Structure 1
Amino acid sequence: MDQVEITCSSVSCFISNHEGFQGSIKHFTSDFVVTEINIDGQMVYAESLAKSHSEPLLCSGNRQRGRNCEPKTDQTEGSALTDSSREERASQQGATDHAFSACVNMWEQHHDLEQILGRSANDELEKFAMENSLCYNHNAGENPGREHISLGTFPDKHQRANVHRAVRHTFPHLMTITTKNEITVKQNPDYKELSCLVSEEESQDFFRFIDAKVPDSVFTFKSDDNKEHRKAVHHLLSKRFGKLVEAKSFTGVNSGEMRGATVKVRFRERKRTAADCVEEDIVYTAFVLKKENLETLEAISYMAASLGVLSSDFTYAGIKDKRAITYQSMVVKKIPPERLREKCPDFEKRGICLSSIHPVSQPLSLGRLWGNHFDLVVRDLRPHCTDLRSDLAQLVDEAVDNIKINGFVNYYGPQRFGTSQTVQSDRVGLALLKQDVVMAIRLFFTPEDGGGDPSNRAKRHFLETGNAKESLALMPEQKPRERLLLRALHRYGPGQDGCTRAWLSLPHGMRVFYTHAYCSRLWNEAATYRLRQLGRHVVQGDLVWEDRERGEGGKQSARRIHVVSAVEAVDGVYSLRQVVLPMPGNTVKYPENIVGDWYQERLASDELQDCRFRVVPLKLNLPGCYRPLLAYPQNLTHKLQGHSTSLQTQDYSDHTTAPNLTLSFDLDSSCYATVCLWEIMKCEL
């Protein structure tokens, strides 16, 4: 980064100093193809998805959770531990124990603690675990070291679950506790009590067994001919784990030909409730969605209406561009594969194609992807300067080489805010955060500039008359969000309570989109301010990731945030690519320098200085997150097509002969290809 020169336009900054070039993107929707990359690192074309997810929830080479790794059991075996057949099969228990152990080992391979926590936090955890392990081994009456340590904050519940499982499996003598998204680790008193009765190895294996909760698995303690000792073990198991497991002693012959007994533990059969029956009956169907010139939420709304389900019954990992051809994974609840296939011909008429339709046992969750692959065409290339002596091929090569090395400023792209609306999405989000839902509704229905189409006429009619019923009759069918709101406003009225209830009628993903847009706008402004005021050097008070390791699912928020000290800034310990800026929310910290001051002043200017980013009446809760200041394309390739090698014969003013540029690259999730093109071409598109 030593040769990087930051240049800024009116609203954004460029991180490299090459000249760039002009061109047009999205001339055709086929010029912009986006393919989701799932958490296994595979692009979700129909063919690849069918191969990698034919058995999506079984133990395999993919990153799957340990709780899905269930050992196969004999269906004829009695369900109660007291059944005599259990005793007859006691000597065969090794097979089940082996299956359980294999499943646990596989789970452990895919949840490396250093990858999840980062090297620094993992080293601290190992040190703390060793202190407590020595305490157990020496039978000390008290912990000779620290009582607890913090692993940091983890806003995402899936990340917290992974941390809890990984820590407890790796260090069974420790327990984890979550308090306001912060995970702390302390000594497990139950483990300490059990380790006084059985060996260290048995204690560790038993707590791994308890934590995994694999159905129909059985844990067997070593043979013990001391009846009083077995009684003490039974008493502890009943006192500490009686609601979860049941235990029984089985007599047999041990390896020393002595009569003894083993204590076997299995999970209690949970009483089935009505909710369990309903949950078991829920059907989930996964598919690859290919859409063209449609928003993800618009496609979902159309499919939901056609299938007779709610939009919230569809789950996905991320929202894709509208003016593009996009491929992404999706799961729908309550719809079997056969019915979904029947609807495919109807969907295709709307530019929606489904493939790789197959059953799964759980929905998708937002953010569960590695990123996206882009295949782009930039048409009508020409230099910024009309001087024919400019070598376009050289300009392109220089631009591509620079972005490979220096990356680009990780701005949110224009599609985050809406490019054609008179009132953009972030202003709606601001009104929601200020709890002015009536204003948010009016901003939502503001017509677009120069728009005389039916949807704009319907919006204008609502703003002028307040008559939701008449406006609904004017609103086209392909405007699902507008129709949902108008239908609810007609039912509940246009007042504060009616507008609140109307807004809640929208699916959650649609509701939070607008508040996220506001926070994204602030992030963009903060990035520009940071680069303009502090340049390319890391300074005291900046926030950085402590390492460059990915967390599970590729999410960077699993790593620890560190505030750069004065000494670290002088010594150049961190680089600009490690700097992050916070997305405003109720769990983030802000930079401890002028950038942090800017955040507070900027929020105050929008009258949000006291905002806790929770709007209870609208069921909105924004924890916030951290976003890297810079992003880097991966696997970037390019090709210039139709370019004359003779500069004298190349007429860049003639669009019929102007060359085209094809680009192919991968970006991490939530990074924008349009912003990457800004940096390559040195223009705002």
Structure 2
Amino acid sequence: MHVAKDTNWLQQPEQSQNSESNTKSVDSHTPQDEKPQPEQTIEIPQEDVKVLEDLSTTQFAQDLVKLFNHGNGPSSNDANTATSPVIDDKPKRAQIHQEVRRIFKSRLETTTGHDGVIIANYVSPRKGKKSRGRRGQPGDDEPMGEYLHFTLYKDNRDTMDAASQIARLLRVKPQIIGYAGTKDRRASTTQRCSVRHQRKRALAGLNGKLWGIATGDYEYQEQPIHLGQLLGNEFVITLKNCKMADETAAQSPSERLASMRNNVEPALKHMSSHGWINYFGHQRFGTHDVGTHQVGKLILGDDFEGAVNALLKYDPEIAAKAEAGQVPDEPSKKDDALRHLACMLFQTGKDLNRAVNVIPRRFAAESCILRHLTRMGKNSARDFAGAITHITRGLRSMYLHAYQSHVWNHAASQRYALHGSKVTKGDLVISDGEAQPAAAEQDQDGDEIINPVEDEEDAPLRARPLTEEEAASGKYTIYDIVLPSPGYDVVYPDNEIGQFYQEFMGREENGRLDPHKMRRLRREFSLPGRYRKLMQRFLVEPSVEFKLYEHDTEQMHPTDLDLINGAERNGIERKRKRDQDDGGPAKKIKAGDGEAQAEAKMERANSEQDATSSNGAEAKAETEPSAEPTKIAVVVKFQLASSAYATITLRELMGDRSDEATPTPSDEGVDNS
């Protein structure tokens, strides 16, 4: 369902290798001649110990005190933890977290495991060996604040992977690295992050040690960055080898470029003025044979065995080859083959233990299921409900949200097909005095942050249907209309769209579910639902460039890291030129002289590049006549709210006439970030 006016649509071949994508978020020292002294042991008041005993157990309280005293002692480098028994009461767990922070002055850090246990670790304020150095060059670069904020740049890595790699080298838990939203892997992205109890120097020292990751812009703050503290995202996306739908071979590259400009610029302007349907992006529904929304449907229908079988579905041919040792060398393809093998070994009952050992760790859902179903041999092989609940909360919620998104997309298509941009009786708007639908629970792709059961303190938005008089008054426009994702805490449109929810979800292929009965016996599967704007628009005016090129490996737009490195190279070049103009002696290159090494490296690179360019140009001049590049790249730049999908924006621009509400196999090679 498209909003844009009819036009000669832009076409692009598969995007997997012919696109570039950049995304960014719119948001005293120890004396040097003395050995550092360990902190004195602090006596914990007995009344505080009693508080911890009352909230948990005497053993856990004693373990916390022991962990704290051990951390303050001379052997604080030892990695010890204290673990509570299982605590199902969420408010009690929250109170324990608060009391531990208060009693131990934030020296103990607590996290909640997936099974409801609380794990405490000692957080050292400073490693003594880092404070030793030459006079005037302290190891601690400045007083450390509670949280170090920094800009994270990454290439072709997702946010959680980058955070995990940084945490690994810092020797901390990934959970202490905060960010406002997740950025997709298939892009070059920048975003602000925070990490607790770290020095600038420690983080800067990681640059160059992690492939595709760099950090900078360090600043201490008293508060961390939380998920949802995001207004939106800016995208710079390059579509390569683009063609118009009615393009002919007789047209020259310049003529094709002019035709493309005459069609794309008005289409983009039309989108800017009128907006487009705010669909959930197809990546939300997965790229495997069984979509994530189908797994969610089975879970909501209490068909846990069906959900497990869907998640463990495998290709017999791939599994057979893997069992015979025919495994690809490429890591990602190798992991895929081993996944099929592990699922086959379990589903056929051939070797349950080997299935657990073979499954690659990156397949988190399958790993959790196999470990749970094999923990007691065949006696636990049919505990399907337990296996689903054993999956991490984030993944469970992804399946449920995918089903909600599937229903929402179809409802949005139906709403626009029936009434277009006209406001009608029964349409929903956010109630007067309520805030707009918040981005505080969403990441850059519009995905709700993994939290299927909203915290009780969250104030849910309220919506109401318009009366016939209100709909005709002109007070409300199509940009005010919202639609709910199915849940127990939402209202549905008081018109045929409300009836559509009932009819659509009640179909056999959609699980025979009732939109008015979304509570489940298992609280984590009860969905309150949320409201989402029907229409989406750009935050600022978009821009577009058209470029002729010849080779698909050519980079059309610099990444942020390219710009930084370019500025550094220019600075070195200017300094070298000043030194030459001053007639000063050439600098000797010594180990540790980073600037001199950088200059020398740049000189070699420049001379090699000049020689290569010269030789290449001469060879080309002798063998090839100069020709105009034949391929066209379109570089679009736009800003979207955090609830919007860039893939949907591109589909609207390119005139994709496929059903937006239904995922298709071709979506696997398309990315939005």
1:522 to partner: Cα distance: 0.9
CA distance in 2, matches of 1:327, 1:24: 27
CA 313–425 in structure 1, closer or farther in 2 if over 3 Å, else same: farther
Residue 402 (1) aligns with residue 295 (2): no
1:422-447 deviation per Cα after TM superposition (whole angstroms, max 9, x unaligned): 11111122222223333323222324
Structure 2 counterpart of 1:20, one-letter code: W
Q: Give the TM-score, by structure 2 length.
A: 0.56
Secondary structure at the residue paired with 2:375? helix
- 5+ residue gaps, structure 1, are 1-7, 43-271, 645-653
CA distance in 2, matches of 1:459, 1:303: 32
Structure 1 counterpart of 2:548, one-letter code: G
CA 668–28 in structure 1, closer or farther in 2 if over 3 Å, else same: same
1:411 to partner: Cα distance: 0.7
Report sequence identity in percent: 28
Residue 512 (1) aligns with residue 373 (2): no
Q: CA RMSD in A?
A: 3.9
What's 1:319 paired with? 182
Structure 1 counterpart of 2:648, one-letter code: V
Q: Is the 8 A contact 2:439 2:643 kept in 1?
A: no
Of residues 425, 431, 434, the one that matches 1:540 is 425
What's 1:569 paired with? 471
Structure 1 counterpart of 2:304, one-letter code: V
What's 2:641 paired with? 668
What's 1:658 paired with? 631
Of residues 480, 503, 512, the one that matches 1:578 is 480
CA 555–304 in structure 1, closer or farther in 2 if over 3 Å, else same: closer
Secondary structure at the residue paired with 1:659? strand
1:364-408 deviation per Cα after TM superposition (whole angstroms, max 9, x unaligned): 443221011101001111111234587221011111111111111
CA distance in 1, matches of 2:308, 2:197: 31
CA 450–500 in structure 1, closer or farther in 2 if over 3 Å, else same: same
Residue 634 (1) aligns with residue 539 (2): yes
What's 2:139 paired with? none
Secondary structure at the residue paired with 1:623? coil
CA distance in 2, matches of 1:512, 1:473: 26
1:255-282 deviation per Cα after TM superposition (whole angstroms, max 9, x unaligned): xxxxxxxxxxxxxxxxx95552246224
CA distance in 1, matches of 2:464, 2:501: 18
Q: Which moved more, 1:318-327 or 1:24-33?
A: 24-33
Of residues 382, 387, 392, the one that matches 2:243 is 382
Q: Give the TM-score, by structure 1 length.
A: 0.55
Q: Is the 8 A contact 2:373 2:382 kept in 1?
A: no
1:401-421 deviation per Cα after TM superposition (whole angstroms, max 9, x unaligned): 111111111111111112x31
- 5+ residue gaps, structure 2, are 28-97, 110-122, 124-146, 319-335, 442-458, 551-626, 659-666, 668-673
Residue 463 (1) aligns with residue 463 (2): no
What's 2:9 paired with? 20
CA 553–629 in structure 1, closer or farther in 2 if over 3 Å, else same: closer
Residue 291 (1) aligns with residue 154 (2): yes
Q: Which moved more, 1:466-475 or 1:431-440?
A: 466-475
Q: Is the 8 A contact 2:241 2:632 kept in 1?
A: yes
CA distance in 1, matches of 2:350, 2:523: 22
1:560 to partner: Cα distance: 5.4
Secondary structure at the residue paired with 2:7? coil
What's 2:102 paired with? 276
CA distance in 2, matches of 1:334, 1:447: 44
Q: Is the 8 A contact 2:296 2:400 kept in 1?
A: yes
What's 2:573 paired with? none
Q: Is the 8 A contact 2:149 2:192 kept in 1?
A: yes
What's 1:31 paired with? 20
CA distance in 1, matches of 2:203, 2:482: 42
Q: Which moved more, 1:550-559 or 1:672-681?
A: 550-559
CA 331–410 in structure 1, closer or farther in 2 if over 3 Å, else same: same
1:570 to partner: Cα distance: 3.1
CA 552–512 in structure 1, closer or farther in 2 if over 3 Å, else same: closer
What's 2:370 paired with? 486
Give the length in aligned residue pairs.
Answer: 429
Q: Is the 8 A contact 1:539 1:566 kept in 2?
A: yes
What's 1:597 paired with? 499
1:40-119, aligned counterparts within 5 Å? 42=27
1:681 to partner: Cα distance: 1.0
CA distance in 1, matches of 2:172, 2:649: 38
Secondary structure at the residue paired with 1:385? coil
Residue 427 (1) aligns with residue 294 (2): yes
What's 1:454 paired with? 338
CA distance in 2, matches of 1:669, 1:315: 17
Secondary structure at the residue paired with 1:642? strand
Q: Is the 8 A contact 2:8 2:246 kept in 1?
A: no
More strand by share: 1
CA distance in 1, matches of 2:538, 2:479: 13
CA 16–550 in structure 1, closer or farther in 2 if over 3 Å, else same: farther
CA distance in 2, matches of 1:642, 1:450: 44
Secondary structure at the residue paired with 2:514? coil
Q: Which moved more, 1:483-492 or 1:553-562?
A: 553-562
1:117-132, aligned counterparts within 5 Å? none
CA 378–431 in structure 1, closer or farther in 2 if over 3 Å, else same: same
Secondary structure at the residue paired with 1:374? strand
Q: Is the 8 A contact 1:462 1:468 kept in 2?
A: yes
1:113-512, aligned counterparts within 5 Å? 274=100, 276-278=102-104, 280-281=106-107, 282=109, 286-299=149-162, 314-331=177-194, 348-349=210-211, 351-356=212-217, 360-387=221-248, 388=251, 391-418=259-286, 420-447=287-314, 453-465=337-349, 467-491=351-375, 495=380, 498-512=383-397
What's 1:51 paired with? none
CA distance in 2, matches of 1:521, 1:680: 22
